[in-house]
Structure 1
Amino acid sequence: MLFCLLPGIFSLLGLHRPIVQFKLSDIGEGIMEVTVKEWYVKEGDKVSQFDSICEVQSDKASVTITSRYDGVIKKLYYDVDATAFVGKPLVDIETESGSGEISEEDVVETPAMAQEEHTHQEIKGHKTQATPAVRRLAIENNIKLSEVVGTGKDGRILKEDILNFLAKQTGAILPPTPFQEIQTPPPAPAAAPAAAKPVSTKAAVKPPPATPKPVFTGKDVTEPLKGFQKAMVKTMTVALKIPHFGYCDEVDLSRLVALRSELKPLAESRGVRLSYMPFFIKAASLGLHHFPILNASHNIGLAMDTSQGLLVPNVKNVQLLSVLEIALELNRLQVLGASGQLGTADLMGGTFTLSNIGSIGGTYAKPVILPPEVAIGALGKIQVLPRFDAAGQVVPAHIMKVSWSADHRIIDGATMCRFSNLWREYLENPASMVLDLK
Structure 2
Amino acid sequence: MMAARLLGTSSKLAKLNMHFHTARVAFLPIVQFKLSDIGEGIAEVQVKEWYVKEGDTISQFDKVCEVQSDKAAVTISSRYDGVVRKLYHDVDGMARVGQALIDVEIEGSVQEEEQPKKEASKSTPQPSKEAGSAPESTQSDGKVLATPAVRRIAIENKVKLSDVRGSGREGRILKEDVLKFLGQVSADHVSGSTNIRTTHQAPSPGAKSYEPLKEDVSVPIRGYTRAMIKTMTEALKIPHFGYNEEINVDALVKIRGEMKDFAKERHVKLSYMPFFIKAASLALLEFPGLNATTDDKLEHVIHKASHNICLAMDTPGGLVVPNIKNCEQRSIFEIAQEINRLMEAGKRQQIGREDLVGGTFTLSNIGAIGGTYASPVIFPPQVAIGAIGKIERLPRFDRHDNVIAANVIKVSWCADHRVVDGATMARFSNRWKFYLEHPSAMLAQLK
Partner of 1:373: 382
* Structure 1 pair 59–210 and aligned structure 2 pair: CA distance change class (3 A): farther
* Structure 1 pair 14–422 and aligned structure 2 pair: CA distance change class (3 A): closer
Partner of 2:76: 65
Amino acid at match of 2:339: L
Partner of 2:361: 352
Distance in 1, Cα, partners of 2:182 & 2:75: 15
Partner of 2:45: 34
| Residue of 250, 257, 265 corresponding to 1:261 | 257
Describe how 1:15-164 pairs up with structure 2 within 5 A: 15=26, 17-98=28-109, 104-105=131-132, 155=184, 163=198
Partner of 2:315: 306
Local SS of the residue matching 1:381: coil
| 1:150-188 deviation line (CA, Å, top 9, x unaligned) | 979973699989847x9xxxxxx8xxxxxxxxxxxxxxx
Local SS of the residue matching 1:305: strand
Residues 1:404 and 2:409 aligned together: no
* Structure 1 pair 77–213 and aligned structure 2 pair: CA distance change class (3 A): farther
Per-residue deviation, 1:436: 3.0
* Structure 1 pair 8–269 and aligned structure 2 pair: CA distance change class (3 A): farther
Distance in 1, Cα, partners of 2:333 & 2:24: 66
Amino acid at match of 2:331: S
Amino acid at match of 1:337: G
Per-residue deviation, 1:414: 1.3
* Structure 1 pair 8–281 and aligned structure 2 pair: CA distance change class (3 A): farther
Contact 2:33 2:100 in 1 (8 A): yes
Distance in 2, Cα, partners of 1:37 & 1:412: 44
Amino acid at match of 2:439: P
* Structure 1 pair 32–106 and aligned structure 2 pair: CA distance change class (3 A): farther
Percentage of matched positions with identical amino acids: 56
Residues 1:288 and 2:293 aligned together: no
Partner of 2:4: none
TM-score, normalised relative to structure 1: 0.74
Distance in 2, Cα, partners of 1:93 & 1:152: 26
| Residue of 263, 273, 294 corresponding to 1:277 | 273
Distance in 1, Cα, partners of 2:211 & 2:48: 22
* Structure 1 pair 56–422 and aligned structure 2 pair: CA distance change class (3 A): same
| Residue of 418, 425, 433 corresponding to 1:424 | 433
Per-residue deviation, 1:6: 8.5
| Residue of 330, 340, 343 corresponding to 2:339 | 330
| 1:343-362 deviation line (CA, Å, top 9, x unaligned) | 11100110100001110111
Per-residue deviation, 1:104: 2.7
Partner of 1:120: none
Residues 1:240 and 2:244 aligned together: no
Per-residue deviation, 1:332: 1.4
Local SS of the residue matching 2:103: strand
Per-residue deviation, 1:339: 1.5
Partner of 1:184: none
* Structure 1 pair 6–292 and aligned structure 2 pair: CA distance change class (3 A): farther
Partner of 2:170: none
Amino acid at match of 1:353: T
Distance in 1, Cα, partners of 2:392 & 2:96: 49
* Structure 1 pair 265–221 and aligned structure 2 pair: CA distance change class (3 A): closer
Per-residue deviation, 1:225: 2.0
Amino acid at match of 2:238: I
Local SS of the residue matching 1:414: helix
Distance in 1, Cα, partners of 2:76 & 2:370: 38
| 1:98-132 deviation line (CA, Å, top 9, x unaligned) | 4778863279xxxxxxxxxxxxxxxxxxxxxxxxx
Contact 1:50 1:152 in 2 (8 A): no
Describe how 1:159-198 pairs up with structure 2 within 5 A: 163=198
Amino acid at match of 2:204: P
Contact 1:386 1:395 in 2 (8 A): yes
Moved over 4 A (4+): 5-9, 11-14, 98-103, 150-154, 156-164, 209-218
Which runs of no fewer than 5 residues in structure 1 stay unpaired?
A: 108-149, 167-172, 174-204
Partner of 1:207: 204
Contact 1:66 1:106 in 2 (8 A): no
Per-residue deviation, 1:253: 1.0
Amino acid at match of 1:436: Q
Contact 1:379 1:403 in 2 (8 A): yes
Partner of 1:339: 348
| 1:356-406 deviation line (CA, Å, top 9, x unaligned) | 111011100000000000100001111111112222222221111111111
Larger mean CA deviation between 155-164 and 344-353 belongs to 155-164
TM-score, normalised relative to structure 2: 0.72
Per-residue deviation, 1:222: 4.2
Contact 1:300 1:354 in 2 (8 A): yes
Distance in 1, Cα, partners of 2:232 & 2:69: 17
Amino acid at match of 2:68: Q
Per-residue deviation, 1:422: 0.8
Q: How many residues align?
A: 353
Distance in 1, Cα, partners of 2:227 & 2:251: 40
Amino acid at match of 2:132: E
